[in-house]
Structure 1
Amino acid sequence: MVQTRKERKAGQVPLAHPDRSGPSEKTLLDLAQERQLFEQADLRQRKLSGRPALPKQDDGPEDLAISPTAERVLETLLWSVSLTMLHFTLDVLVQHQYAVELSWAKAISRSLLALFVFTCLMYVLHPHASAPTPVPGLPERFQSPFRQAVFFATSVSSGCYLIHISNTYGYLAVMKQSPPLGCLWVWSVIELNLILGVLSLACSGVFLWTGGYKIR
């Protein structure tokens, strides 16, 4: 006589989460990696096939580290190239604004000159851990306030002068002076802290409003 198997009810089956913890002991893969069995097998296979063995690579942090001076140079180039691209863009835009025939050769030459100037200024004035005292003879505690004062004065003067020449000078003077002044203004505001940056922009706004100038 065939007997049917009774199924357990759902309430009688114990419920539990599966064990997601890793193995408590070393696996065969771990043992093979410790004994470098894969490297030995690959080396043996290459010897049998007549192929040369691959050189060992060491990608430790010591090999990838660069000196502070090299890091400072790379950071300087990154900032100066970015400002040069901004200078080139402003140069092209201001020539289009006055419907002047664009000379790409002159625009590129002016941008290369700006790259040299920005690189020198950025290397000296931009803060970096490898050069805590860029101004010789000045104590270290006064370095940051002095740098902030320089950039604040540069931001206010370049912004106000850019507003002035855009409203009073001829188009030739505007095309020649606007790109470098705009780059200096942007860079100075970036180097300032938040409070001084907003204050410098407010000074330029007050100069624009009190002088009766217009944004062109």
Structure 2
Amino acid sequence: MNRKQRRAKNSTDHISTADDIPLAPPPDAKSRTRKTKTLLDIAAERQAELLGSQAGAAHTPLDANSLKPENIVQVKIGKNGEIVQDSGSPLPPSMLSNTRGSEPETPWLDSILLASSLSAVHFTLSVLAMHQYAEELRFQPLIGQTLFIAFPTLTMLIALFHGVLLPSSLAKIQPAVRTWVLALRSLVYVVTANVAGCYLIQLTNDRGYYAVMKDAPSVGTLWVWAVLEMGLLGALAGVVGPGLYAWWFGYGVV
């Protein structure tokens, strides 16, 4: 066996590309017992290597530190197709929001939008009360009360309960304490809804027209806000109290 044949035989042990496959005429019937790697054998070996590497990667535990925002590297594709690190670009807002938990991206905007809707409820109730008891509708004082009293008060109240004014009370405390804070907030919603609902029933049935015009819009808006904050099950809990109060004292439904 000459040097060229020995080199071709040894090259079959470390085939990495198609150029490393030795070219030779097909063997005849007498010499077919010689074992050489075919393209199918090489493809099967490569597939087994890929499957083994994927299985090993699947069993590798995920490092929690690699998911921290400071350990994430932003890259971009260069002009020639190479991957270039982009150190100047900040993390996407969606990624930052996911690392912070379920907190909204614009908490003040959410508070203002909710306060605007509740202010519209306050203005509607004020118009209904004045339309029922007053001789004529005067929209100027109602608009002033809604814009300069109801809206700022509702905005501060919603921001306080949503943790916007005091973000450290909900975002930087321990998970166990955070759970108790959220439970206490839900309890305040339930108590507020029941007390405001019962007082609204007593106010509109037993008090004079001046008291109804003065207090009913604010109490009704407060009751609507507490019910909205609690969700479906909490809303049922906020309605049960006023319903039992109306049934116990014999208030009818008009």
TM-score (norm 1): 0.63
Counterpart in the other structure of 2:151: 115
Return the alpha-carbon distance in structure 1 between the equivalents of residues 181 and 112 of structure 2: 22
Aligned counterpart, 2:110: 75
Q: Give the counterpart letter for 1:105 in structure 2.
A: Q
Give the aligned residue type for 1:122.
Answer: I
Structure 1 gap segments, 5+ residues each: 1-34, 36-60
| CA positional deviation for 1:91 | 0.5
Cα offset, 1:213, TM superposition: 1.6
1:103 Cα deviation after fit: 1.6
Name the amino acid aligned to 1:190.
Answer: L
CA–CA separation in structure 2 for the residues paired with 1:93 and 1:199: 27
After superposition, the Cα gap between the structure-2 partners of 1:168 and 1:143, relative to the gap in structure 1 and judged at 3 Å, is same
Q: How far does residue 215 in structure 1 lie from its aligned partner after superposition?
A: 3.9
CA separation of 1:135/1:206 partners in 2, compared to 1, >3 Å: closer, same or farther?
Answer: farther
**Alignment counterpart, residue 195 of structure 2, candidates 157, 161, 169:** 157
Deviates more, 1:188-197 or 1:74-83: 188-197
Report if aligned partners of 2:112, 2:155 keep a CA contact under 8 Å in 1: yes
Q: Does 1:168 align with 2:200?
A: no
Structure 1 residues 101, 71: CA separation in 2 closer, same or farther (over 3 Å shift)? same
1:135–1:143 contact (8 Å) kept in structure 2: no
Higher relative contact order (CA 8 A, sep 6+): 1
Could you list the per-position Cα deviations for residues 105-136 of structure 1 after superposition, in whole angstroms to 9, with x for gaps in the alignment? Answer: 110111021001000001011367x9473599
Question: What code does the residue aligned with 1:117 have?
Answer: T
Q: Take 1:204 and 1:137, find their aligned partners in 2: how far apart are those partners?
A: 35
**Once superposed, what is the RMSD of the aligned Cα atoms?**
3.3
CA distance in 1, matches of 2:132, 2:155: 28
TM-score (norm 2): 0.54
Superposition misfits of 4+ residues, deviation over 4 angstroms = 61-70, 134-138
Task: State yes or no: 1:98 paired with 2:136.
Answer: no
Cα distance 1:69–1:196, how it changes in 2: closer, same or farther (>3 A)? closer
Distance in 2 between residues matched to 1:174 and 1:136, nearest whole Å: 43
1:147 aligns with 2:182: no
C-alpha displacement of 1:69: 8.4
C-alpha deviations, 1:81-118, integer Å up to 9, x for none? 11001100110011112243222111011102100100
State, as a whole percentage, how many aligned pairs show the same letter: 33
Aligned counterparts of 1:132 and 1:159: Cα–Cα separation in 2: 32
Q: Is the 8 A contact 1:80 1:119 kept in 2?
A: yes
Structure number with larger C-alpha Rg: 2
Q: Is the 8 A contact 2:170 2:178 kept in 1?
A: no
Unaligned runs of 5+ in 2: 1-78, 80-90, 98-102
CA shift, 1:62, in A, is 4.6
Q: 2: CA distance between counterparts of 1:202 and 1:92?
A: 27
